[in-house]
């Protein structure tokens, strides 16, 4: 049974689909004086809400939700990947936690080049050499200092889900079936939970005993239960089965970085987002500020005028991403300059309502790598007003496709987010710049954009989405839908979206995007490509009276849970 409904207001719709077994997918809630969790899977959202009911706060809930996603959403939820957290406490304190993966000590600038100097993207995307040092578990523990409950309680819902199993959906069954061959190619273990002799089907119970045992080691021994001891030994042993280069020393030395949040104002809102090595917050600041010069509120949502302004803001911001952005511990961080009014007004001078701006006129032709879209986002606010926005990833679907034998979790393929050879296209036809080249211990550039908007010093919006390089543009559109076009959370999240990233010149637009807008802009030289979907945004809005409106994106099985 799959139920889709609006809680706290009115019943929207209810379906009885045979491929779901008693999974309640709550798309929208309106509540007050309660905490809410929005994530990519109803069981994960419920795990976070359970922690809120136990007296935990938003930061406890977001940890529990992330652990649960590692079980029920293995294509992107993880303990073998990394992510970013943006938090605003009810005291006004703002913080970010960077637990992005890092390049192993043995990594080198040309490690994915063959003997002829040609980039081999298969090495950077599949198998053990593609794996960066995981940061997720360290990030979960770093979040504890802002929470109230011990990790032993926060991880228990995930242990229960892994040990007892859960019914998979038709979509999940299809994904597992499609990946059976590549799972078998990269994994020798016959005990792997994700492979079986007959095809997966909706309603099958996915039990992950090895993962449950790994989670128990973390529960018992803390972060050392992952970065040292049995789990670390199993991970390094997995590396040695192929050409992986992560060592026990890499795992033991992994460090989370707490960074100063990227903050800026837009209209009457104070925006708190993620700084480098996430390009997302910087891109968001640039795009909002540039489009602000044209007073977007004068136009209608998804009108030709509004979309043209936004496309051109996206074009200029992504050109800067390619040239200037990377790990701030390894490059000169030019954030302050890139979001300054002086720089952006000069950048905007070439905007012309009569025609598309050629991308060659706004940046050097060094396009950024195209990230996989398989990230996942969580938005949380608790009854006391603490807010958390977290985006986390394995990079590709199921990451490197490698499961740590005996430990039961997928490893990331984040090394592909580096420029594996500056100036040479990767498999997606995108090229990276020198700022994002591979170096030992360096964090690869990301587009993840967990973001919190404040009004009068209090959280007003908590928002984020998966989607690779489409993440910043989806968050950008979600914000202006609310702030400029005065839409509610539901319309903002589910309205048809578009995306432009400087190169290629093509503008991607969802299939239900207004045809009249596309036609008007095509006459000005814009080229559109229809795509099935862009992102899966999770949004929470809080009004001045404390009323909470939370929406899970209708593009997937995303769901809201209330404490």
DSSP state of 113: B
Q: Which ranges of 54-191 does DSSP label H, i.e. alpha helix?
A: 58-72, 121-125, 136-143, 151-154, 156-164, 170-178, 180-186
Is residue 516 annotated as a catalytic residue, yes or no?
no
Give the other-Cβ count within 10 Å of 157's Cβ.
22
CA distance 78 to 90: 28
* Residue 395 marked in a binding site: yes
Catalytic residue among 143, 375, 391, 537: 375
**How far from chain centre, in Å, is Cα 345?**
30
Strand partners, 15: 2
CA distance 390 to 403: 24
* Residue 279 marked in a binding site: no
Could you tell me the maximum CA-CA distance found in the chain, to the nearest angstrom? 64
* Residue 446 marked in a binding site: yes
* Residue 100 marked in a binding site: yes
Kindly write down the DSSP assignment for every residue of 349-365, as one continuous string: TT--TTSPPPGGGTS-S
- Token pair 């309603």: residue: 203
* Residue 468 marked in a binding site: yes
Ramachandran assignment for 302, one of left (phi > 0), alpha (psi -120 to 50 degrees), beta (any other): left
First to last CA, the chain: 22
CA distance 49 to 51: 5
User: C-alpha dihedral over 36, 40, 41, 44, to 10 degrees?
Assistant: -50
* Residue 144 marked in a binding site: no
217-236: buried (b, 16+ CB within 10 Å) or exposed (e) per residue? bbbeebbebbbeeebbebbb
Give the CA angle between residues 51, 55, 58 to the nearest 5°. 60
Tokens of 417: 């987010």
Write out the binding residues for L-glutamate.
Answer: 100, 393-395, 417, 446-447, 468
Write out the binding residues.
Answer: 100, 393-395, 417, 446-447, 468
Catalytic positions: 375
């Amino acid at each position: 049974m799959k139920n889709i409904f609006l809680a706290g207001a009115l019943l929207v719709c209810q379906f009885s689909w045979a491929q779901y077994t008693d999974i309640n997918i709550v798309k929208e809630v309106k509540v007050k004086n309660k905490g809410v969790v929005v994530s990519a899977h109803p069981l994960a959202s419920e795990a976070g809400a359970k922690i809120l009911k136990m007296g935990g706060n938003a930061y406890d809930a977001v940890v529990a939700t992330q652990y649960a996603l590692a079980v029920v959403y293995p294509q992107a939820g993880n303990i073998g990947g990394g992510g970013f957290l943006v938090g605003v406490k009810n005291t006004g304190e703002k913080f970010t936690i960077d637990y992005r993966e890092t390049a192993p000590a043995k990594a080198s600038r040309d490690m994915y080049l063959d003997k002829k100097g040609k980039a081999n993207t298969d090495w950077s995307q599949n198998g053990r050499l593609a794996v960066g040092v995981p940061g997720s578990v360290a990030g979960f523990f770093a979040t504890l200092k802002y929470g109230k409950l011990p990790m032993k309680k926060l991880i228990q819902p995930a242990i229960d889900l892994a040990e007892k199993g859960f019914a998979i959906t038709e979509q999940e069954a299809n994904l597992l079936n499609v990946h059976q061959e590549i799972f078998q190619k990269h994994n020798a273990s016959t005990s792997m939970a994700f492979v079986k002799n007959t095809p997966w089907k909706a309603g099958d119970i996915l039990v992950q005993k090895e993962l449950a045992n790994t989670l128990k080691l973390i529960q018992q021994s803390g972060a050392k239960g992952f970065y040292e001891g049995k789990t670390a030994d199993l991970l390094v042993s997995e590396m040695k089965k192929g050409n992986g280069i992560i060592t026990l020393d890499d795992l033991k030395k992994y460090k989370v970085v707490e960074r100063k949040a990227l903050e800026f104002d837009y209209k009457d809102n104070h925006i708190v987002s993620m700084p480098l090595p996430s390009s997302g917050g910087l891109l968001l600041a640039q795009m909002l500020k540039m489009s602000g010069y044209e007073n977007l509120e004068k136009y209608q949502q998804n009108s030709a005028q509004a979309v043209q302004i936004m496309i051109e803001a996206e074009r200029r911001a992504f050109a800067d991403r390619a040239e200037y952005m990377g790990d701030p511990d390894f490059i000169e961080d030019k954030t302050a300059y890139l979001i300054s009014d002086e720089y952006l007004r000069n950048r905007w001078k070439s905007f012309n309502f009569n025609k598309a701006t050629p991308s060659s006129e706004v940046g050097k032709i060094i396009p950024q790598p195209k990230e996989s879209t398989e990230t996942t986002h969580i938005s949380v606010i608790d009854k006391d007003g603490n807010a958390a926005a977290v985006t986390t990833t394995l990079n590709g679907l199921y990451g490197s496709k490698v499961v740590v034998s005996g430990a039961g979790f997928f490893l990331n393929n984040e090394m592909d987010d580096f420029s594996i050879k500056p100036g040479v296209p990767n498999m997606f036809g995108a090229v990276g710049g020198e700022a994002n080249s591979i170096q030992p211990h360096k964090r690869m550039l990301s587009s993840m954009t967990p973001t919190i908007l404040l009004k009068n010093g209090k959280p007003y919006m908590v928002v984020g989405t998966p989607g690779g390089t489409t993440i910043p543009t989806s968050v950008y559109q979600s914000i202006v839908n609310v702030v400029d076009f005065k839409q509610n959370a539901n319309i903002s999240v589910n309205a048809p979206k578009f995306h432009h990233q400087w190169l290629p010149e093509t503008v991607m637009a969802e299939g239900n995007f207004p045809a009249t807008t596309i036609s008007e802009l095509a006459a000005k030289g814009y080229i559109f490509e229809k795509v099935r979907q862009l992102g899966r945004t999770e949004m929470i809005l809080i009004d001045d009276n404390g009323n909470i409106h939370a929406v899970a994106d209708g593009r997937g099985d995303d769901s809201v849970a209330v404490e």
